């Protein structure tokens, strides 16, 4: 990407006519100003008297030379403001206060609008934009924050970062949040399904990654929610493998852990596929153990259960079945092959904020047991290089848990059946 020299021109001035950033011009299903205002009110209700809390937007980071990384907003800042821009600051007061010439309980500080920059990098909100679009009454330039900071010394600092207030709010998803999460999960399920019907033994990990991420983008996702894990063969036994460069062989399993992000909210789904379309005997045995463990874990996703309950029951299944197969001698050895937790919260972060106490209605968590038997393991070599993980996104309710990603096949037989329904994806190699 070349970056020619920048020259200021009066022709840039019309950009200032709109205080609406590009994000708000084109997407009409973003979280509303009322949602973010409501989140600030909910947080304010939890704050100590005569206290304030300060939140900072993420900074832009340089990837190399004059090329930045794709900007991603701090999730707490986005949750409370809806502001997608860097270099912004939010100050929330417990009570309305007189500060300088303002009588307020919140101030947002944002970048100044700049026609010179906006022609190159897109429209900014500016102070008028955050008032009009995001609903703030008091908005100032970020350059004014330094002069305001001494005026804040008379207010107690609410230790939001060290306390659980914001985690308690973010772990319970509102209906508005669930709309976006469901959209992210639907996009992800549909994209994984296309990959299942596209896989060929002549492909590579990166080509499989390209198929699923193309599916995200073409369905409206802004980005993957995290680096896609697409590991085949021996790489199925590496939990967060992201090199994605290996060429498939006919006997491979393929672990695909990939989730779409939609308007800040990310899905997190994993499927394990036989690249030739049918599981071998040993692969299916391990797959079925993981499936049974996941079913047990999902069944434990009930309000009032401890957060670790899904993991505990899933682990027991894995330990029992591995012993039955002679892969381990004692059930306590199962941790050699199942050595990660089964669940985490899901939302604005793929590993989202939460208290990890008892499960509550409105929690969205993953259930993702796995078994990983790398080459050289202390068991029969017929099990080596078999790695299996199955992951779904589960909504905790007042009744039975809801599997939000249930539309994507999980049972071994269902996976094989879908893989037989081949579709053409242009540009991918096929086994001759």
What is the mean predicted confidence (pLDDT) over 316-326? 98
Q: CA 61 to CA 216: how far, in whole Å?
A: 25
Dihedral sign, Cα of residue 167, residue 47, residue 306, residue 332: positive
- Catalytic entry in 23, 111, 182, 344: 344
Q: What is the pLDDT of residues 108-147, one digit of tens each?
A: 999 999 999 999 989 999 999 999 999 999 999 999 999 9
302 as an active site residue: the answer is: no
240 as an active site residue: the answer is: yes
Q: How far is CA 295 from CA 115, 182, 190, 202, 367, in A?
A: 56, 21, 22, 33, 9
Beta bridge partners of 367: 392
340 as an active site residue: the answer is: yes
391 as an active site residue: the answer is: yes
- Catalytic entry in 389, 392, 393, 410: 389
Nearest to 273 by CA among 242, 216, 230, 244: 230
For residue 231, count CB atoms less than 10 angstroms from its CB and return exposed for 0-12, middle for 13-18, buried for 19 or more.
buried
Structural domains of the chain ordered from first start: 10-168 (3.40.350.10), 172-419 (3.90.230.10)
What is the mean predicted confidence (pLDDT) over 178-207? 98
106 as an active site residue: the answer is: no
257 as an active site residue: the answer is: yes
- Catalytic entry in 118, 352, 391, 392: 391
389 as an active site residue: the answer is: yes
Nearest to 189 by CA among 351, 422, 406: 406
- What letter does residue 319 receive in the DSSP assignment? H
**CA angle at 215 for the pair 237 and 178, rounded to the nearest 5°:** 90
Task: State residue 43 phi and psi, 5-degree precision.
Answer: -70, -40
Q: What is the pLDDT of residues 338-380, one digit of tens each?
A: 999 999 999 999 999 999 999 999 999 999 999 999 999 999 9
CB atoms within 10 A of CB 64: 7
Beta bridge partners of 247: 204
What is the mean predicted confidence (pLDDT) over 392-409? 98
Kindly indicate the confidence band of residue 15, based on its pLDDT and cuts at 50, 70 and 90. very low
Q: What is the pLDDT of residues 59-100, one digit of tens each?
A: 999 999 999 999 999 999 999 999 999 999 999 999 999 998
66 as an active site residue: the answer is: yes
Give exposure, 391-426, as e/b (b: 16+ Cβ within 10 Å). Answer: bbbbbbeeeebebbbeebbbebeebbebbeeeeebe
335 as an active site residue: the answer is: no
What is the mean predicted confidence (pLDDT) over 283-310? 98
- Catalytic entry in 157, 240, 245, 335: 240
- Catalytic entry in 241, 265, 291, 372: 372
Higher pLDDT, 162 or 282: 282
- Catalytic entry in 59, 69, 351, 400: 351
Q: How far is CA 122 from CA 136, 182, 343, in A?
A: 22, 29, 39
For residue 256, count CB atoms less than 10 angstroms from its CB and return exposed for 0-12, middle for 13-18, buried for 19 or more.
buried
SS3 category, 408: coil
Q: CA 297 to CA 163: how far, in whole Å?
A: 29
- What letter does residue 335 receive in the DSSP assignment? G
- Catalytic entry in 118, 261, 368, 392: 368
| pLDDT at residue 110, as a whole number | 98
Q: Supply the pTM of this predicted model.
A: 0.94
- Catalytic entry in 26, 49, 66, 98: 66
344 as an active site residue: the answer is: yes
- Pair 216, 227: CB distance under 8 Å: no
Q: CA 293 to CA 34: how far, in whole Å?
A: 41
């Amino acid at each position: 990407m070349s970056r020619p020299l920048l020259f200021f021109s009066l022709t840039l001035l019309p950009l200032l006519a709109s205080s609406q950033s590009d994000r708000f011009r084109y997407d009409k299903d973003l979280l509303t100003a009322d949602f973010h205002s409501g989140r600030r009110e909910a947080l304010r209700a939890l704050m100590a008297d005569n206290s304030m809390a300060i939140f900072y937007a993420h900074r832009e980071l340089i990837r190399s030379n004059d090329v930045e990384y794709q900007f991603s907003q701090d999730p707490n800042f986005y949750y409370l403001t809806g502001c997608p821009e860097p270099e912004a600051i939010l100050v929330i007061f417990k009570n309305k206060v007189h500060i300088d010439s303002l009588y307020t309980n919140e101030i947002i500080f944002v970048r100044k609008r700049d026609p010179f920059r906006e022609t190159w990098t897109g429209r900014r909100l500016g102070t008028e934009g955050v008032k009009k679009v995001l609903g703030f009454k008091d908005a100032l330039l970020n350059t004014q924050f330094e002069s305001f900071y001494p005026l804040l010394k008379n207010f107690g600092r609410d230790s939001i970062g060290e306390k659980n207030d914001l985690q308690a709010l973010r772990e319970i998803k509102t209906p508005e949040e669930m709309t976006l999460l469901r959209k992210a999960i639907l996009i992800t399920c549909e994209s994984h399904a296309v990959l299942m019907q596209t896989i060929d033994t002549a492909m590579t990990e990166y080509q499989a990654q390209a198929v699923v991420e193309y599916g995200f983008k073409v369905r409206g996702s802004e980005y993957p929610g995290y680096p896609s894990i697409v590991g085949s063969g021996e790489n199925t036994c590496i939990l967060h493998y992201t090199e994605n460069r290996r060429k498939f062989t006919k006997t491979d399993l393929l672990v695909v852990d990939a989730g779409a992000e939609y308007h800040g909210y990310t899905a997190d789904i994993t499927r394990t596929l036989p690249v030739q379309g049918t599981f071998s005997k040993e692969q299916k045995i391990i797959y079925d153990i993981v499936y049974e463990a996941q079913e047990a874990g999902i069944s434990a996703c009930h309000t009032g259960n401890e957060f670790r309950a899904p993991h505990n029951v899933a682990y027991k299944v894995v330990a029992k079945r591995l012993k039955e197969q002679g892969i381990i001698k004692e059930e306590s050895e199962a941790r050699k092959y199942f050595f990660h937790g089964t669940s985490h919260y899901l939302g604005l972060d793929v590993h989202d904020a939460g208290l990890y106490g008892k499960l509550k209605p409105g929690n969205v968590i993953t259930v993702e047991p796995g078994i990983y038997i790398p080459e050289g393991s202390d068991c029969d070599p017929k099990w080596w290089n078999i790695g299996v993980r199955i992951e779904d996104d589960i909504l905790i309710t007042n009744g039975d848990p809801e599997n939000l990603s249930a539309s994507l096949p999980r049972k071994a037989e269902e996976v094989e059946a879908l893989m037989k329904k081949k579709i053409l994806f242009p540009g991918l190699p096929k086994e001759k």
